[in-house]
């Protein structure tokens, strides 16, 4: 595990809630080169830490019975100094707190939140588990992107909460917003495409050696791609995928 405390306002963890956690373990194990380490949990709960080169890359959990009807999804976590204080700030800024704050055993304290447009994210006050041990490297999360119907409101909301600044960057067919914490890029934001049927959401990117090989592996496993891969100068080649259980994520090769 990463023993270094994560700075407030940085993305520090990611986990997948899915309908078939064992199948997901196999799929992501092959795609990302992850190995699984189950965490002792109370009865009827499953939480499996996925490692890359003995470093925590994120986790996979089973959707609880009370969440039946909720589609499989990846959840991004943002580091905070106090989950209780930040939860109050989320409410005051126009967001919602759907669950918590509560203790995740000795690992930390968290709350599941939503921004004013309904995009979900979690806040994480790390204790024994401050965050992932691998990031911005093959097998680790490497980018976070908000797809939203209201970029102006979202920008104000997150900048108020986490001290981010927002830089708009005009592109060919859109304006892309880069979120920065100080001089460090922490995530991006774009207007959700009109054809996208999913609610507003945060989207996780994982770094892979070969974007096209990852696309083919996903299709061979029963998943799919949502787009043709795109080459971004200075960034790499990326594509949005859907795993065999229906959770969306993106891969990036540099």
CATH of the domain at 175: 3.10.180.10
Amino acid 2: pLDDT:
43
The yes-or-no verdict on residue 4 having pLDDT over 80 is no
Q: Which of 68, 95, 126 is the last residue of a domain?
A: 126
pLDDT greater than 80 at residue 163:
yes
Place of tokens 């996925």: 50
Provide the 3-class DSSP secondary structure of residue 227: coil
Residue pair 142/136 in contact by the 8 Å Cβ criterion: yes
Is residue 17 domain-shared with residue 115, that is, in the same domain? yes
The per-residue pLDDT for 247 is 96
Q: Are 248 and 218 in contact (CB under 8 A)?
A: no
Q: What is the DSSP letter of 172?
A: S
Within this chain, do residues 195 and 238 fall inside the same structural domain, yes or no? yes
Residue 238 has pLDDT above 50, yes or no: yes
What mean pLDDT do residues 227-253 have? 96
Do 112 and 145 lie in a common domain?
A: no
In a domain, 209, yes or no: yes
Confidence of residue 65 (pLDDT cuts 50, 70, 90): low
Position 67 scores a pLDDT of: 62
Structure tokens at 229: 């891969």
Identify the H or E element spanning 51.
strand 47-52
> Is residue 3 over pLDDT 70?
no
Q: How many residues does the chain have?
A: 254
Residue 44 has pLDDT above 80, yes or no: no
Q: How confident is the model at residue 66 (pLDDT cuts 50, 70, 90)?
A: low
Q: Which residue has the tokens 């309908």?
A: 19
What's the structural domain count of the chain?
2
**Looking at residues 181-203, what average pLDDT do you find?**
92
d(CA 211, CA 253): 5
| Range of the structural domain that residue 106 is part of | 11-126
**What mean pLDDT comes out for the span 239-253?**
97
DSSP reduced 3-state for 123: strand
């Amino acid at each position: 595990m990463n023993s270094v405390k994560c700075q407030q306002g940085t993305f520090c963890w990611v986990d997948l809630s899915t309908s078939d956690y064992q199948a997901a373990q196999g799929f992501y194990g092959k795609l990302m080169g992850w190995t699984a380490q189950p965490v002792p949990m109370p009865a009827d709960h499953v939480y499996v830490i996925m490692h890359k080169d003995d470093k925590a890359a994120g986790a996979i959990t089973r959707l609880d019975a009370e969440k039946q009807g909720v589609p499989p999804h990846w959840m991004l976590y943002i580091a905070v100094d106090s989950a209780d204080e930040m939860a109050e700030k989320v409410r005051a800024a126009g967001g919602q707190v759907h669950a918590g704050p509560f203790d995740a055993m000795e690992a930390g304290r968290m709350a599941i939140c939503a921004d004013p447009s309904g995009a979900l994210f979690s806040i994480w006050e790390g204790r024994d588990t401050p965050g992932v041990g691998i990031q911005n490297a093959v097998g680790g999360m490497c980018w976070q992107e908000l797809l939203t119907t209201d970029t102006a409101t979202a920008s104000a909301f997150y900048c108020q909460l986490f001290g981010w600044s927002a830089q708009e960057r005009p592109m060919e067919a859109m304006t892309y917003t880069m979120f920065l914490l100080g001089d460090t890029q922490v995530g991006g934001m774009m207007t959700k495409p009109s054809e996208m049927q999913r609610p507003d959401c945060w989207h996780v990117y994982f770094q892979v050696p070969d974007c096209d090989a990852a696309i083919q592996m996903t299709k061979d496993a029963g998943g799919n791609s949502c787009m043709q891969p795109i080459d971004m100068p200075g960034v790499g080649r990326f594509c949005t995928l859907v795993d065999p259980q229906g959770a969306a994520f993106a891969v990036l090769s540099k």
